[in-house]
Copies of this chain bind each other. A is one copy, B any other.
Amino acid sequence: MSSTEATTATTTVAAPTVVPVALGKRGYDILIGPGLIDGAGEELARRFPGSRYAIITDETVAEHHLDRLTGSMTDAGLDFTTVELTAGEGSKSFPVFESAIDCVLSARLERGDLLIALGGGVIGDLVGFVAGVVRRGMRFVQMPTTLLAQVDSSVGGKTGINTRHGKNLVGVFHQPSLVLADTSALDTLAPRDFRAGYAEVAKYGLIDDPAFFAWLEANWRDVFSGGPGRIEAIATACRAKAHVVKIDEKETGPRALLNLGHTFGHALEAVTHYDGTRLVHGEGVAIGMALAHEFSVHMNLCSPDDAARVKAHLEAVGLPTRLQDVPGGVGTAEELMQAIYQDKKVKRGRLTFILTRGVGKSFIADDVAPDVVKAFLGEKLRG
């Protein structure tokens, strides 16, 4: 070792955590770590030599993170255009879908070129769908900037938009070619959005990883404040999701476990008319998971202690857990049941629920009697 080298000050950038999604020809890597947006240009140049790009983002994300990305891509000599959409769920719609496609085609991108989804689940779902249909499928990169997107929506290839008949009813399965989850990008996220995403993190513990749930109970403050625990939590969640996606890419079986808390959660989103000022997705999921555990207690499947423990943890991080927590109320048990029936996971009148035998012991129950659910909801509404 020469003395010059020995005395040079060096910045240590920790290598990102890599979680592979093993889907054969459709496989890809999830890279997790701070500062990945700043290093994106180099990473892209290395992985996709000769390709051109269209970055699609929303205005809020653009304000905080777009310059870092375009700067990095310019430094790496990459050729790209940028499209900024309105922030919010409203962009998962036919008109925005059509105009995003028009932008991509105007940029003359070819099949081997890539779209970049820089944003939360809304941008990821929309851009993934656009990538899935332009020229019958072009490649795309997920750069998730919300916690929900980093641990859930950016991984697994579900894409889509909403219609007046319900959310996510139109879309395709289309896997990204790379996911770059820049964990420091979450620092600018609204606390409420961070918490909402945390509900999905906790979900992976509750599905089948009790040790992870216990770890979260001990370390959630570090996850929220951006310590090393954040990377670890996100990586654990991504590994869990990658595993489920690998064994059931098209959601014909076990992937349904990822819907823990979601049947109730979706119903709550529906009865509050997807009004994010009242309830965001992750909050619905938090209440839904608490209810799924309580319903499992009601069905004599789960101990009351486990249900209480789940509720206590969600409340500790500031998430809602009761129907009464939703501002403006959630209507009657009958209205909730109607919303449950509308949910696309309902098949031919029988209800599919994710139930549980305790923390980390969830399972798919595909023949739950609607009457029992309704009675349970009636009880919960009475307090």
Chain A residues at the B interface, C-beta cutoff of 8 Å: 94, 98, 101-102, 105-106, 110-112, 129, 132-137, 158-160, 163-166, 169-173, 250, 344, 347-348
Inter-subunit contact A169/B135 (CB<8 Å): yes
Known contacts A105-B169, A137-B172; 20 additional CB pairs below 8 A are: A94-B94, A102-B163, A102-B164, A102-B165, A105-B165, A105-B166, A106-B165, A110-B344, A110-B347, A112-B347, A129-B133, A133-B160, A135-B169, A135-B170, A135-B344, A136-B159, A136-B172, A136-B250, A137-B173, A172-B172
Residues of B close to A110: CB separation below 8 A: 344, 347-348
In whole angstroms, how far apart are the Cα atoms of A136 and B169 in the complex?
7
- Verify B94–A171 contact, CB threshold 8 A: no
Say yes or no: A163 contacts B344, CB within 8 Å: no
Note all chain B residues with C-beta closer than 8 A to A163.
Answer: 101-102, 105
Bound-complex Cα distance A112 to B348 (A): 10
Enumerate chain B residues within 8 angstroms of A106, measured Cβ to Cβ: 165
User: Do A172 and B132 form a contact, CB below 8 Å, given A110-B348, A348-B110?
Assistant: yes
A133 with B171: CB separation less than 8 A: yes
Q: Residue of B at shortest CB range from A105?
A: B165
Query: Nearest chain-B residue to A110 (Cβ)?
Result: B347
**A169→B98 contact, CB < 8 A:** no
Q: Which residue of B lies closest to A348 (CB)?
A: B110
B164 touches A133 (CB 8 A): no
CB distance from A268 to the nearest CB of B (A): 21
Inter-chain contacts of A135 with B (CB < 8 A): 169-170, 344
Can you spell out 25 A-B residue pairs with CB atoms less than 8 angstroms apart? A94-B94, A101-B163, A101-B170, A102-B163, A105-B165, A105-B166, A105-B169, A106-B165, A110-B344, A112-B347, A129-B133, A133-B160, A133-B170, A133-B171, A133-B172, A134-B169, A135-B344, A136-B158, A136-B159, A136-B160, A136-B171, A136-B250, A137-B172, A137-B173, A137-B250
The answer on a CB contact under 8 Å between A94 and B98 is: yes
> How far, in Å, is A155 (CB) from chain B's closest CB?
16
Residues of B contacting A136 in the complex (Cβ-Cβ under 8 angstroms):
158-160, 171-173, 250
Complex alpha-carbon distance, A165 and B135, angstroms: 11
Nearest neighbor of A160 in chain B, beta-carbon distance: B136
Q: How far is A61 from B124 in the complex, measured between Cα atoms in Å?
A: 40
Min distance, Cβ A86 to any Cβ of chain B, angstroms: 19
User: Which residues on B sit within 8 Å (CB–CB) of A101?
Assistant: 163, 170
A134 CB contact (under 8 Å) in B164, B170, B348: B170
Q: Nearest chain B CB to A343's CB is how many angstroms away?
A: 12
Residue of B nearest to A102 (CB): B163
| Whole-angstrom CA separation of A159 from B134 in the bound complex | 12
Chain B residues near A105 (CB-CB < 8 A): 163, 165-166, 169
Q: How far is the CB of A381 from chain B (nearest CB, A)?
A: 27
CB-CB under 8 A from A250, the residues of chain B are: 136-137
- Nearest-neighbor residue (CB-CB) of A133 within chain B: B170
State the 5 A-B residue pairs at the shortest beta-carbon distance, nearest first.
Answer: A105-B165, A94-B98, A136-B171, A133-B170, A136-B173
Residues of B within 8 Å of A112, CB to CB, are 347
Q: In the complex, A166 Cα to B104 Cα: how many Å?
A: 13
State how many angstroms separate the Cβ of A323 from the closest Cβ of chain B.
Answer: 27
Assembled-state Cα–Cα distance A101/B173 (Å):
17
Residues of B within 8 A of A166 (CB): 105
Task: Kindly provide the distance from the CB of A26 to the nearest chain B CB, expressed in whole angstroms.
Answer: 12
A344: which B residues are within 8 A, CB to CB? Answer: 110-111, 135
Closest Cβ neighbor of A50 among chain B residues: B348
With a CB–CB cut-off of 8 A, which chain B residues contact A164?
Answer: 102
